[in-house]
Amino acid sequence: MRGKNALTVIVGISALLLAACSQGGTTSSAADAGTTEAATATMPAPFDAGPVKIALVQNSGAGDYFQQWTNGANLQAKAIGFDMQTYDAQADNAKQATDMETAIGSGVKGIIVDHGNADTMCPGINKAVAAGIAVVVYDVDIRKCAPTAVFTSQSDESLASLVLAQAATDLGKDKTVGYVNVLGIAPLDRRHVIWEQVKKDNNWTEKFFVGKFTNSVATDNAQLADAALKKNPGVAGIFAPYDELAKGTISAIYQNNLQAKVKVYGIDISNADIEIMTKADSPWTATAGTDPNAIGAGVVRAMALQLAGQLNKTEVSFPGVLITAQFLKDNAIKNMTDLRAKLPELNLTKEVTADWIPTVAFN
């Protein structure tokens, strides 16, 4: 979950989103099996005295991104020795703020905030920090309102630059293009800045800009993209910088039988995204992304290092990679397991870690 308009009652992510967890607090448990490589050093305090209680205060949306993110976080938490209680507001900002208050009062040593709205969450984050609770935030840009919390994110500017450089190569200059995005969500706002620059550099004419964030992002944006394509024929490419937005855009392209004429460029990657990109007639030409499992695990490692007094920084940025449909097809990649094997940099095993932290692999 990437201006505060009416849409900011819903949370980002990054881009971006799916109902991954239950509405109430739940005990950490992995959705998918994983393997763990044992740590090679003695556990530091507070991990040398039994399980360490933390909370994950989440605001998920639609799609399988959040399922994978949470799976990675759960696996890494279990491997380190966290007792992690999870709360998921599921696109309800007010509930996330209430969940934060509950977590603060539950006796935890640390709180991870995954997605959300900065204006909504900053009071609770600052309250937690003042109470001596370590706070690590993912994809909620709290750097101005809660500067002492640890801010983590994908490198959204890098992701957008990677995929839009591919779009510029494929499409060339002076083309007519479309744009499907939702502003007011931190990661999508950061991607938007790069879009504006690349559009200007290539003299692209933006024929439409549509998008909204809901509990059914792909379905609802398919309708918006369908109307935009009917009203603005002849676009050569569309940038949809979050995979649920890309799915909706692609659905609209199929509805209008334009898959041979319009190229789609997205951000994020998942099993479902790979299936769409590798279809014979898919318009989804390229994406840039990280492995959500690895990001979730990396954020949990940041919390572990923070509690151990070993993080020594307040910002962590996770790098992504460019993934083209042609690369997926050429390497017969069917799922994220295949992709990790071909692009091991997705695993992020060398990011935000220490020799006492077990390495987790994802199936």
CA-closest candidate to residue 179, choices 200, 222, 212, 208: 208
* DSSP classification of residue 134: E
281-310 pLDDT per residue, tens: 999 999 999 999 999 999 999 999 999 999
Give the domain 156-289 fold.
Rossmann fold (3.40.50)
Measured between alpha carbons, how far is residue 289 from residues 16, 24, 89 in Å? 11, 30, 25
Measured in whole angstroms, how far is the alpha carbon of residue 344 from the centre of its chain?
19
Q: What mean pLDDT is predicted for residues 132-140?
A: 96
The mean pLDDT of 173-187, rounded to a whole number, is: 94
Query: Per residue in 112-127, pLDDT tens?
Result: 999 999 999 999 999 9
Domain boundaries, the chain: 6-155+292-319+348-362, 156-289
State how far the Cα of 78 lies from the Cα of 76, in Å rounded to an integer. 5
Q: With CA atoms as reference, report the closest residue to 28 among 90, 93, 88, 107.
A: 88
Predicted pLDDT at 59:
93
The pLDDT score that the predictor gives to residue 34 is 58
d(CA 279, CA 236): 19
10 Å CB burial of residue 106 (0-12, 13-18, 19+) is middle
Residue 29 confidence (pLDDT): 38
Mean pLDDT of 96-123: 96
User: How far is the CA of 89 from the CAs of 23, 94, 176, 352, in angstroms?
Assistant: 6, 8, 39, 27
Confidence of residue 314 (pLDDT cuts 50, 70, 90): very high
3-class DSSP state for residue 31?
coil
Sheet containing strand 205-210, strands side by side: 205-210, 176-180, 237-240, 263-267, 284-289, 321-324
Judged against a pLDDT cut of 80, whether residue 322 lies above it is answered with yes
pLDDT mean across residues, the chain: 89
The per-residue pLDDT for range 3-42, each reduced to its tens digit, is: 333 333 333 333 333 333 333 455 443 344 456 666 777 9
**Strand (E) or helix (H) holding 125:** helix 118-130
**Considering the domain 6-155+292-319+348-362, what is its CATH architecture?**
3-Layer(aba) Sandwich (3.40)
Query: Are 6-155+292-319+348-362 and 156-289 equal in CATH topology?
Result: yes
Residue 33 host element (H or E): none
User: Alpha-carbon distance 51 to 22, whole Å?
Assistant: 23
